[in-house]
Amino acid sequence: MCDEQDLFGRQLPLTNGPANSRVRPAIVTIGRRRRCQRCQQWLLPTDCLPNQAWYCRQCLQLGRLTSHHKLYTIPEPNRFAPVAAPILTWLGKLSPMQGTAATGILDLVRQQRHQLLWAVTGAGKTEIVYPALAWALAQHWRVAWVSPRVDVCLELAPRLQQAFCHVPQALLHGKQTRPYHYRQLTLCTTHQLLRFQSAFDWIIVDEVDAFPLATSPLLQTAIATAQKPTGSHLYLTATPGEQLQRQVRQKKLAVTYLPLRYHGVLLPQIEVRLIWRWRERLTKGRLAPRLIRQLQDYRQRGQRFLLFVPHVLDLKPVAQALQRAGVTGGITVHAADGERAAKVQAMRDRTIPFLITTTILERGVTFPDIAVVVLGGDDAVFSTAALVQIAGRVGRHQDFPTGEVTVYCHSQSRRVRLAQRMIAQLNRQGKRLGGRRQ
Amino acid sequence: MSKCLLCHQPLRPPMTLAQFWCWQPLPVPVVCQRCIQQFDRISATHCPQCGRQQTKMTVCHDCDRWGDQRLQNHAVYTYNEAMKAYMQQYKFQGDYALRQVMMAPLQQALMRETYDVLVPIPVNQETWQARGFNQVTGWLRNQPFQQVLLVTADHKEQPQSAKTRQQRLLTQQPFSLAPNAARVLAGKQILLLDDVYTTGRTLRHAATQIYLGGAKAVTSLTLAR
């Protein structure tokens, strides 16, 4: 049977739970509609099974909930063993600017305010949160560090384990094979939060604007449900969307800015070049001469680059067209690619000169000394956030703090202009803090 | 805007001029073109007994091993990765809405068959309680069918899909006939309907029972092979 601890702050469909657990039906009827109690989404009138049970399609991935199920929960008691003396075992040092941001966050956490850390790409967001996280853990708070992307969680897990080596941690995601354990610090994907109810005193949401969280009401409610009524959350991002920026303006969300990278050089601005009807040309196997010339120039100088295309289907024709034009040596990467990790590693090891890729490499990857070219930047898949993130791949390294970002489009687009505006705004703020062009 | 049931991308069905001039409501697809193309249709060259996709029209090795226990089966799709993923979500995760994906292809396939009575393979009582539906009858739109088979063996220690070929072949007869079976079956041509043909054990057990009920001929149709 299920251990009592496993139910602390959780909501699980069981056949029978411990005596002190609270039970509620998984699907309730409100008026003429039905609502799933796990994901708080409405059911469609067609979601009825032939045995008269209703089921929720929205959170089906976590195991099907029907109206025959009951959700068991035990309110979170915060029953943790006290953590050994130095909670933060991280040996690195924050730069003065990072230090200011870290103090700002700590002050707001003490007031239990909802907040946003708006730090440019490559500012060292994770480390900035460490002091506040150490404080929260010392208060016996239960804390979750979540991200919509499983790769971010997997990459973060060893770093957090090292930085807080006396704090027991749990890592949850869809492909996790180890069983669940009750831990003070939980690292998970946003989907896993659906299994929690009023559990966390503080939730840190990494890459809050990333797919699928940004567009999914399901996951947004998951954060609200998993957080205690007295709890608060911290959003981390380099590119907050319209909605978050509005909440900041309305003072619903306190904000800490960090508009300058740790090496103190401003962000590279996006340069737009128009190439008319490039897609029609591509079907004939050709690319714009300006683009070819730029890429040939990069190849001659030995400058490595990333070429972003809008869709997976564009990868092959673009690669073939480049081959024909004499820009050789690159390989393509997309989300479903089995050798994705190996190819990215090869790029890191400088064994290949360039990668042709889709938006999967827009965040979470760092290559020193790289240039970025976007083909078809006016396509709908390149949101403003995606473009700023893509531009943020450039100049992340101390020794190569600058670089070129070129976006080729068929026509001017609002998304590209907003991206340029966001970079310009961050750079204006960065200049005030003493940012340099070179 | 409606979304594809499988990949959740917005559906943008192309409208033809013919549809435009028909002045009728547009047909609403439930899956996008890309997803439906993942399923691999079985072409005209297949094994005459089990319906497996192959390059020639001879009896395949597996059917040869069955010897005299003949069965004439047709299958609509091959059992590839996409079909496996579909079955996983529909049957084992219990996403009943996915039945709509296969409704139209199965309806077309049924129209090509000649039969008097359609008999879907039943699920046992436990599965019915847990899953909430029979995965085979879920695909039927409003084609009439007769539930003449009953599952007697309720002691499934492990599901069929978790067994090896050898273990599957040793499975005992799980079916029995319903009380009204003789009246329905006598002298009729019967078409059995199942989800996946793997070894043919289940369908042969079912066919044996149907013949006992007095049917003239039994053929079968499965979604995948």
B159: closest CA of chain A, how far (Å): 18
Chain segment A189-226, per-residue pLDDT in tens: 999 999 999 999 999 999 898 888 888 899 999 999 99
Higher pLDDT, A121 or B217: B217
Q: Which residue has the tokens 């099974």?
A: A49
Give the mutation candidate from A44, A55, A215 for the B interface (greatest B CB count, under 10 A): A55
> Who among B89, B95, B128 is closest to A51 (CB)?
B128
Q: Which CATH class is domain A270-432?
A: alpha beta
Chain segment A65-113, per-residue pLDDT in tens: 999 999 999 999 988 888 887 889 988 888 888 999 999 999 999 999 9
Q: Which CATH class is domain B30-155+168-224?
A: alpha beta
Instruction: Check A66 against B132: CB less than 8 A apart.
Output: yes
How far apart are the C-alpha atoms of B139 and B220, rounded to whole Å? 15
Strands B217-224 vs A370-375: parallel, antiparallel or unpaired:
unpaired
Instruction: Check B129 against A51: CB less than 8 A apart.
Output: yes
Domain assignments of chain A as residue spans, ordered by start: 1-75, 96-258, 270-432
Task: Please give the pLDDT value at position A76.
Answer: 92
Instruction: Check B96 against A47: CB less than 8 A apart.
Output: yes
Name residues 133-192 of chain B within 8 A of A (Cβ): 133-134, 137-138
Task: Please give the pLDDT value at position A84.
Answer: 80
Amino acid at A66: T
On the question of pLDDT at B85 being above 90, the answer is yes
Question: B128 and chain A: CB distance < 8 Å anywhere?
Answer: yes
Question: Could you give the ipTM of this predicted complex?
Answer: 0.84
Question: A338 and chain B: CB distance < 8 Å anywhere?
Answer: no
Task: Please give the pLDDT value at position B154.
Answer: 58
Which of A302-306, A318-322, A395-399, B10-14 has the least mean pLDDT?
B10-14
A48: closest CA of chain B, how far (Å): 8
Asked if residue A310 has a cis previous peptide bond (ω within 30° of 0), the answer is no
Report the chain A residue with the minimal C-alpha distance to residue B135: A50
Which of A65-74, A261-270, B5-14 has the least mean pLDDT?
B5-14
Q: Which residue has the tokens 């503080």?
A: A202
- Three-state secondary structure along chain A? CCCCHHHECECEECCCCCCCCEEEECEEEECCEEEECCCCCECCCCCECCCCCEECCCCHHHCCCECCCEEEEECCCCCCCCCCCCCCCCCCCCCHHHHHHHHHHHHHHHCCCCEEEEECCCCCHHHHHHHHHHHHHHCCCCEEEEECCHHHHHHHHHHHHHHCCCCCEEEECCCCCCCCCCCCEEEEEHHHHHHECCCEEEEEEECCCCCCHHHCHHHHHHHHHHEEEEEEEEEEECCCCHHHHHHHHCCCCEEEEECCCCCCECCCCEEEEECCCHHHHHHCCCCCHHHHHHHHHHHHHCCEEEEECCCHHHHHHHHHHHHHHCCCCCEEECCCCCCHHHHHHHHHCCCCCEEEECHHHHCCCCCCCEEEEEECCCCCCCCHHHHHHHHCCCCCCCCCCCCCEEEEECCCCHHHHHHHHHHHHHHHHHHHCCCECC
B85: closest CA of chain A, how far (Å): 13
Work out the pLDDT band at A1, boundaries 50, 70, 90. very low
Report the chain A residue with the minimal C-alpha distance to residue B138: A50
Check for a shared fold between A96-258 and A270-432: yes
Instruction: Check B133 against A50: CB less than 8 A apart.
Output: yes
Amino acid at A348: R
Exposure pattern of A251-290 as b/e (b: 16+ CB <10 Å)?
Answer: eebbbbbbbbbbbebbbbebebeebeebeeebeeeebbee
Select from 3.90.1300.10, 3.90.1150.10, 3.40.50.300, 3.40.50.620 the CATH code of A96-258.
3.40.50.300
Integer distance in angstroms from the first to the last C-alpha of chain A? 63
Instruction: Check A51 against B133: CB less than 8 A apart.
Output: yes
Question: A51 and chain B: CB distance < 8 Å anywhere?
Answer: yes
- Quote the pTM value: 0.83
Question: A177 and chain B: CB distance < 8 Å anywhere?
Answer: no
How far apart are the C-alpha atoms of A67 and B173, rounded to whole Å? 34
Report the chain B residue with the minimal C-alpha distance to residue A56: B95
Strands A200-206 vs A169-172: parallel, antiparallel or unpaired:
unpaired
Strands A12-13 vs A70-73: parallel, antiparallel or unpaired:
antiparallel
Chain A residues near residue B129 by CB distance under 8 angstroms: 51
Instruction: Check A47 against B97: CB less than 8 A apart.
Output: yes
Question: A66 and chain B: CB distance < 8 Å anywhere?
Answer: yes
Q: Where are the alpha helices (DSSP H) in chain B?
A: 17-22, 33-38, 61-66, 81-87, 99-112, 125-131, 165-169, 181-185, 201-212
Chain A residues near residue B126 by CB distance under 8 angstroms: none
Give the mutation candidate from A57, A64, A219, A311 for the B interface (greatest B CB count, under 10 A): A64
Question: A60 and chain B: CB distance < 8 Å anywhere?
Answer: yes
Domain assignments of chain B as residue spans, ordered by start: 30-155+168-224
Work out the pLDDT band at A297, boundaries 50, 70, 90. very high
